[in-house]
Amino acid sequence: MDVRALQTTDLLAAAVAVASTLVLAVQLITPSPVLVSAGDDGATVTELGGYFTYTDVAVVLAAAVLLGASATYLLLAGRLRGADDDTAARPTPPPAASQADGGVPSLDAAEARTGDLLEARRDQWEATAERLSNNERVVYEAVLDADGVLAQADIVDRTDISKASVSRALDGLETRDLVERKRRGMGNVVVLR
Higher pLDDT, 17 or 80: 17
Any long-range contacts for 28-31 (C-beta under 8 Å, 24+ apart)?
A: 28/60, 31/56
| pLDDT given for residue 90 in this prediction | 47
Q: What percent of the chain has pLDDT over 90?
A: 10
Q: Is it the case that residue 28 has pLDDT exceeding 50?
A: yes
Helices (H), the chain: 8-29, 54-89, 107-131, 134-145, 152-158, 163-175
Express each pLDDT in 93-146 by its tens digit: 445 444 444 454 454 555 566 667 777 878 888 888 888 888 888 888 888 888
CATH number for the domain formed by residue range(s) 122-192: 1.10.10.10
Domain boundaries, the chain: 3-86, 122-192
Q: Considering the entire predicted model, what is its pTM?
A: 0.41
pLDDT band at 42 (very low <50, low <70, confident <90, very high): low
